[in-house]
Structure 1
């Protein structure tokens, strides 16, 4: 079953239609028989219908021809989808029904008046191009609706070669988009994929002995023989790769269509599209993330991660040409990865829905091999369980998307996101996949540069990611042995919190049935009981600090700022007379100077406020920081207006009072999206309540800031319950857009 077979079938059908037209003495002028749709494109499968239209000029009535021409076709045993219309009626039908308009874009002359066919084809194309801006939104809605109903060819358990996302109907829609002249599609990639999928459909028709576009499970073995691949798994990979490629081209093209439609018709843009920097070496141009001018992939091993994180977080297209160039030219990441590389990967994984398109581009361009060569183990691997909607690789990405919505519930979002990425990495092995996956996950986590404790956490989560779901649904929660089965394997409350969230994300990504209200209740009840047995809460950072020799200028009431480069950033030490609001002013200083803070510690000693800030900028200058701080303290700069929270979007901040964490102070834990000004907003809110921050531990883990503040009344130690609640409310309001 090849393109030559389709040419032969089309020629035979053409001859049949021409003979029928001649046998009925069809006229040579004023009337024509045309093929439309798949038949018009010459893509007849063994059991395809013949889509034909008898067209006439408006002043011609085909009379008996319209009644008699179909009989010879029916008598031949062919299935015919036919209609009779005048030239004007064809245009009206296309105006009223988008499906008719799309079918008419592929009309081809069969018999009768060729000039009428040419005029009709020319008119249909002209109308399509003229009305494209009005019709494409409707086409996009129709395409999305079909995708939601059928699913993706690359990932559904029983793929539909025509209707699924990435199927033949999408390939046809892409050709229609090209016909508008508004956008272009990589022609070679689209055409080769479309022809390969047509070959598969021909085999499926022939094997099934009927017209069907769905590949039933029992067909894969025979299809493997037809496709000359080793086995059913290889046949699935072959077909799903084609679907994934068409899906990738379709999503990319529709994003470009959206960009075109957002630009008013007739407005000419600049000859060279503007480039808006979004990260070092990375810019946004025409809605796509590209390399900034002057970027040198061979000298910057982090450039690929910065580009992917920027694309996913901005829900923008990672330009395929950019990804392909990075795949070829990017400097390899060191082993182990630097902390910044790990942070960028976590930001990518935690970007939410924006991750999906970016990840697909990484796969299609081969750039993913630079970051995670182990991905090949699960690429397009079908799930054995019918409860899963996707193949293993897509399920893993969906798990990351689900986990991203839950990161406020854990103290180590970096561990959560990497565990979500690796939780099924052992699938396809002969042994139990969680057992096989644990050592693989451990190797990957070490390569990514996690500290030993975090490596153990990732490995534990991968090994036991099914523990809560399986135990909750098969064991008696009132039996102490049930709780012991969980506690003995997980070990800490922090690991249990991570496992609880991973269990939910894994189930939600599988299918709605996998996380029903009943199942969710069982899992969360088991987790609550296990947490009580382990002791509530995760570990907080210690409150001990090193003693610092205060320089004379600080003892005299001055301020000292010292910058020490660290290779991939700098450590900034600030000593100043302690006061309420000092930490807020320092945090504002860094934010207004656009210096990214990775971590910070602050404490008091002998009436002096001491803080150490780990920053991403290795060119930060102490003099500039001092000038900015002086301007804030003297009231010449108001940081409140410039660092106000953005409009509400994404996850809300989580603010929790931890009464068990300290006897001398009230501990407030804040988890919020990492962005400039978070520490300032928190500390300023506390300062407005005349509360002193006696110790602070600020950390950035992927996309989330996890900050812990030890708060006291200026002269009275820990806060009362009422004051603690007031402080938590003030912090929450300060971090939430639209609130004072």
Structure 2
């Protein structure tokens, strides 16, 4: 205790010190005359230690009450700071009490006190975290308070550990000028934004050189923090080294930009801060902005390059915390601001925008803190299971048509979108400031480009701007006009005009919505031929879109809680419109050749664009969104200016926008009844053209990878045969004529092997010739002939089938019960997913089965090793060399996060979909070898599977089987059908999966 008293007396004679641009603290409270006050009494100070007013400080540092989120010590800098109030600080950690208890342990145990000191500090850390976690549960949206509280907790521990090191471990009465040490927080710790499991990023600043004393103190502190279980990122540098490395490395430069004084020699910190401004910042503003934006773009690309990804990264994702940090870093580097609030003073944000900045930051910090608490680690990815749990913790409730997790994620995406909007405005202003600065100097100094006028708007530098602040108030229809002109003239909307539009969007009332001119302008924008997607996105960010079309405003940032839809409803819709525009311009001909032709044959292109806008407009309501959306279309289309006939077809398209994709993917297109039923609903060639276009853009706009050549092939086949049926009023050929035509085409493909057609025509039967495409028949005939000539009991052939973006697997074997489910099991064991299956039996009793297979990511198996593995796995399964059930249960599901969703199995029987077969559709959670289990259940129920069609919608699988009983007849409703339904539900259930996994 004597040593501690001497140390406290020494501090009164010690110099005060500090470092690089403290973005977080203002350690010295200066009075009116600029003289440091003895006691710091800021009440809203999360770094304060209320128990220590009037006490002496440990050696060589200033002990003041310090506030997280405050600015630096530049002379003349305003004192408007971001203050985060941390109430009841001593309930988190009482530094004086712990310091006294630590000193008592040293006095009692001497050199052997370390284990007890570590235990004391570890308990303080755990108690502090527990208190902050409790507060987060009580106030689940208090992100700033929680993050500031964790920084405060670490501050106090760092100070205690520092004082222990220099007082009890390496005490020295008179340190030399070189024995100087300042501790500064950098990174998120420097901003006083720490989630519960965040790394502790600390920089130790030493005097002119590294002395043994400094190294000993730093080492002692680090070992103590590591013993506490803290993840510490650290560096030890002199001021010269820190400045040199800041100039060379962007990451270090950014860390130094955010550095905050924590404890130690404040004069050293202040010296570094002044030199950082003078030597690193000044004159390098433009380079810093360029580098940070390049870094941001690379980060976005890694994270999916969209703020609407289904499992966003709260920290690094687009629209996340790091984007807000980037704005702050850029503003701080260019304008020397000390806090985000001062971005208002320098004109980069309006007060309303700054409030949006803080709200978004507070919400995102809260979500990140909940993630860390729930996972117990530094987890920043908002996975599906975490979304549900955090929605519950943040007190979101279910609403009709919208679950609590969807409401939570809607708010998340609204904040992410607002971050994107703030970023656009912010960077546009930065760009203009640089441009203005360049114009005042250099070769073109004094030269000014003349603005032109377009309908009263100023056009300058490729941007359209409102000429006055009250421009929209004078005529709110201009809120639509400005965006229509931007699209038509290929202009950007000036950031100040975007601000005005956001501010004035509330002027759009029912009178504006019903205004004929406003609706004509909106329709011109929607059907624009340049880039309506981008301009509609700008319109959406300002809120004008949702105000003008309130039904669209309801789906703004609305997430669909599943693994199939990658984007929010509004983003999906705008992307669909953009895809339609690209198809019309011929930019997607390779992927969508049919749609690229049809868009120029429809009677009204306005119908195509309005249908794309409205097809999901009723998502999130309590009911079928297709039915409800059709009613919305009947109201909106006349308002937009569409004719009665255009309104009818748009309403029909919205009602039936899923019809074509469901028919193509879930039904057997070779069954005449499938086509008859589909054509009966479509009824006209014009509807068919529009439906084909809308289906293509709808599927592709769902997300990356949802459109593939296989879906394109199925939709193309359905369109072609339906278009023929509509045009002729009947199928062009009868059954016999179709078989003969197919055989002639196959013979042409086979060339010198054309004789196989006549040889095998009767062997395979008419059903085979009708069901299979010409190119597959040609491959099958050669394979079958060779297998029979070699007298193989089993022949498996796999090859990459480019036309359908899949691998064609053909199996020829003696037909026997259970063959189908065993083949399916072998394919699953090799890592394949079956997307289509056609099962045939020759008149001689040989099975000839064709499967289209992809890997779990929707890609074909193309490498020889993959094809060999497929063949071997199927052969092993058919020869009973592997026990399928346990092996299949052990295979992990590629999308294991599907367990976050509730998917109850459902079985549907349809005896009207086919004249020959009963169609059974099973909807269930996607899981390893689901098809194998369902096929086995059908086999055990004494049913014959003639074809299978497999579709996946994220976590949900929809498997369709065309079946008959053993006599070739359909199933009748009754007890047997009920037993089959119960059996299929049982094998598709989660309970069955768990039973197999635990077997």
Q: Tell me if TM exceeds 0.5.
A: yes
CA distance in 2, matches of 1:437, 1:518: 29
Equivalent position to 1:381, from 545, 554, 558? 558
Residue aligning to 1:173: 326
- Secondary structure of the residue that 1:34 maps to in structure 2? strand
Aligned-pair CA distance for 1:173: 0.3
Do 2:629 and 2:655's aligned partners in 1 also have CA atoms closer than 8 Å?
yes
Do 2:307 and 2:416's aligned partners in 1 also have CA atoms closer than 8 Å?
yes
CA distance in 1, matches of 2:677, 2:451: 56
Runs of at least 5 residues in structure 1 that lack an aligned partner in the other structure: 537-740
Residue aligning to 2:533: 355
Deviations 1:479-500 (A, max 9, x none): 3333333433333333322222
Residue 487 in 1 paired to residue 628 in 2?
no
Q: Where do 1:234-273 residues align within 5 Å?
A: 234-261=407-434, 265=438, 267=440
Residue 112 in 1 paired to residue 290 in 2?
no
Residue 529 in 1 paired to residue 529 in 2?
no
Count how many residue pairs are aligned between Structure 1 and Structure 2.
Answer: 534
Residues 39 and 334 (structure 1), Cα distance of their counterparts in 2 relative to 1, 3 Å cut: closer
Residue aligning to 1:401: 578
Residue aligning to 2:63: none
Aligned-pair CA distance for 1:143: 1.0
Q: Where do 1:142-541 residues align within 5 Å?
A: 142-151=295-304, 155-181=308-334, 184-185=348-349, 186-230=353-397, 231-261=404-434, 265=438, 267=440, 275-278=451-454, 280-285=455-460, 288-293=463-468, 297=472, 300=475, 302-313=477-488, 314=490, 316-317=492-493, 319-329=497-507, 333=511, 338=516, 341-348=519-526, 350=528, 355-356=533-534, 358-408=535-585, 409-410=599-600, 411=602, 412-535=604-727
Residue aligning to 1:138: 291
CA distance in 2, matches of 1:516, 1:103: 44
Residues 501 and 122 (structure 1), Cα distance of their counterparts in 2 relative to 1, 3 Å cut: farther
CA distance in 2, matches of 1:308, 1:262: 24
- Secondary structure of the residue that 2:372 maps to in structure 1? helix
Aligned-pair CA distance for 1:423: 0.8
CA distance in 2, matches of 1:180, 1:275: 31
CA distance in 1, matches of 2:608, 2:357: 37
Residue aligning to 1:614: none
Do 2:630 and 2:651's aligned partners in 1 also have CA atoms closer than 8 Å?
yes
- Secondary structure of the residue that 1:59 maps to in structure 2? coil
Deviations 1:213-263 (A, max 9, x none): 122323344433443432333322232222221121113323444445556
CA distance in 1, matches of 2:629, 2:199: 48
Aligned-pair CA distance for 1:164: 0.9
Greater mean alpha carbon deviation, residues 490-499 or residues 326-335: 326-335
Greater mean alpha carbon deviation, residues 456-465 or residues 212-221: 212-221
Residue aligning to 1:7: 148
Deviations 1:60-89 (A, max 9, x none): 444333433301111222221112222232
Do 1:34 and 1:55's aligned partners in 2 also have CA atoms closer than 8 Å?
yes
Do 1:311 and 1:354's aligned partners in 2 also have CA atoms closer than 8 Å?
no
- Secondary structure of the residue that 2:359 maps to in structure 1? helix
Residues 311 and 468 (structure 1), Cα distance of their counterparts in 2 relative to 1, 3 Å cut: same
Do 2:483 and 2:493's aligned partners in 1 also have CA atoms closer than 8 Å?
no
CA distance in 1, matches of 2:617, 2:508: 25
Residue 70 in 1 paired to residue 189 in 2?
no
CA distance in 1, matches of 2:512, 2:229: 66
Residues 282 and 344 (structure 1), Cα distance of their counterparts in 2 relative to 1, 3 Å cut: farther
Aligned-pair CA distance for 1:363: 4.0
Aligned-pair CA distance for 1:467: 2.3
Aligned-pair CA distance for 1:332: 5.2
Residue 36 in 1 paired to residue 212 in 2?
no
- Secondary structure of the residue that 1:514 maps to in structure 2? coil
Residue aligning to 1:53: 203
Deviations 1:15-40 (A, max 9, x none): 22223333332868643211101101
Do 1:52 and 1:80's aligned partners in 2 also have CA atoms closer than 8 Å?
yes
Q: Where do 1:603-682 residues align within 5 Å?
A: none
Which of 1 and 2 has greater Rg?
Answer: 2
CA distance in 2, matches of 1:389, 1:368: 22
CA distance in 2, matches of 1:470, 1:140: 43
- Secondary structure of the residue that 1:10 maps to in structure 2? helix
Residues 209 and 364 (structure 1), Cα distance of their counterparts in 2 relative to 1, 3 Å cut: same
Residue aligning to 2:757: none
- Secondary structure of the residue that 1:46 maps to in structure 2? coil
CA distance in 2, matches of 1:235, 1:100: 36
Aligned-pair CA distance for 1:399: 0.9
Do 1:297 and 1:331's aligned partners in 2 also have CA atoms closer than 8 Å?
no
Aligned-pair CA distance for 1:305: 1.7
Do 1:400 and 1:421's aligned partners in 2 also have CA atoms closer than 8 Å?
yes
Do 2:181 and 2:206's aligned partners in 1 also have CA atoms closer than 8 Å?
yes
Residues 267 and 434 (structure 1), Cα distance of their counterparts in 2 relative to 1, 3 Å cut: same
CA distance in 2, matches of 1:45, 1:193: 16
Residue 23 in 1 paired to residue 164 in 2?
yes
Residues 276 and 427 (structure 1), Cα distance of their counterparts in 2 relative to 1, 3 Å cut: same
CA distance in 2, matches of 1:257, 1:159: 28
Residue aligning to 1:581: none
Do 1:154 and 1:241's aligned partners in 2 also have CA atoms closer than 8 Å?
no
Residues 420 and 258 (structure 1), Cα distance of their counterparts in 2 relative to 1, 3 Å cut: farther
Do 1:425 and 1:433's aligned partners in 2 also have CA atoms closer than 8 Å?
yes
Deviations 1:281-308 (A, max 9, x none): 4333566533235985456454122111
Residues 141 and 294 (structure 1), Cα distance of their counterparts in 2 relative to 1, 3 Å cut: closer
TM-score for both structures, normalised by structure 2: 0.50
Do 1:153 and 1:161's aligned partners in 2 also have CA atoms closer than 8 Å?
no
Residue aligning to 1:606: none
Residues 15 and 424 (structure 1), Cα distance of their counterparts in 2 relative to 1, 3 Å cut: same
**What is the alpha-carbon root mean square deviation over aligned residues?**
3.1
